[in-house]
Amino acid sequence: MVEQRKIKIGELTFNIRISGNENQDLVLFLHGFPESSVMWTALMKSVSESGFYCVAPDMRGYSDGACPKGIKNYDLKNLIKDILDIVEFLGKDKFHLVGHDWGAAIGWNVVYQNRDRILSWTALSVPHSRAFGKAIKMDKVQQKKSAYIKWFLLPWLPEIYIRRNDFKMFRRLWKHSDSEEVDDYLRIFKQNKCLTAALNYYRANLGRGKRVPIGEVYSPTLFIWGNKDLAVGSFAAYENEKYVKGDYLFVEVDGGHWLVQTNFEEVKDAVTGHLKNYKDIH
């Protein structure tokens, strides 16, 4: 069973989904763009049955009570702080982290900065930012795959286009999602402030401002990548291992970017196995 709750942290109120016994290891799930915590529901049910406490927030900008105005509010510094604040609210010192897409991009930074607190780390689709950055500089395939990012950096125009024809652009991305997921996504993105906030992840971190320093990761890491990913090519995926110095498992699957929906059994087995391998000994 997955419950929905609201938690208030400072001036922000996050919508979260919870499954499992709070006395077990915490597994925090971070969604990406353009999705929400609902994408994790089936995986959370399965993982919690294996003896874990699963929590998935609607991230900053996706929770209507945690949607401040202004691009600067969506820089990595704030996004990282949100994750640590949520963990503190839940009363946990150490935790497992699982992230997809932007959730993975944020997660790599959380893991790098909090080595002693991370029991295990799982990234879906998006590799270490240095591997991804190198691919954008050196790999023509990745340059083509990432061309959309420049468009997202434009003011207002992306919002206007995305809303056209009842979110036709997003609906194409959601073709593997069930109706419950799509309804939840539309509930969020039909709010103008939330759509702009989600795009501000790109504008704050890829369009301007200082980069957050990130180095090698030493936490036990699982990286799952689909070899038909529309956004991340093989150069970045294979380069990833250079930036992980701890235990590392790379799982390549025959799938695209939306792995939880299209390759659920493979993802479930890999994630659950990884979590069990690094379960905290109380």
Mean pLDDT along residues 114-121: 97
Per-residue pLDDT band at 280 (split at 50, 70, 90): confident
Residue that has been written with the tokens 């208030």 in this structure: 8
The rounded distance, in Å, linking the Cα atoms of 252 and 221 is 14
Question: Which one, of 49, 58, 12, 14, lies nearest residue 181 by Cα?
Answer: 58
Q: What is the mean pLDDT of residues 12-37?
A: 98
Do β-strands 118-124 and 52-57 pair in parallel, antiparallel, or remain unpaired?
unpaired
3-208+215-277: CATH superfamily:
Alpha/Beta hydrolase fold, catalytic domain (3.40.50.1820)
Q: Going by C-beta distance under 8 Å and a sequence separation of 6 or more, which residues neighbour residue 242? A: 131
- pLDDT by residue (tens digit) across 95-105? 999 999 999 99
Contact by Cβ (8 Å): 111, 94: no
Give phi and psi for 4, each to the nearest 5: -110, 135
Max Cα distance, the chain (Å): 53
pLDDT tens-digit series, residues 161-210:
999 999 999 999 999 999 999 999 999 999 999 999 999 999 999 977 66
The residue ranges of every structural domain in the chain are: 3-208+215-277
For residue 44, give the nearest of 77, 21, 62, 78 by alpha carbon: 21
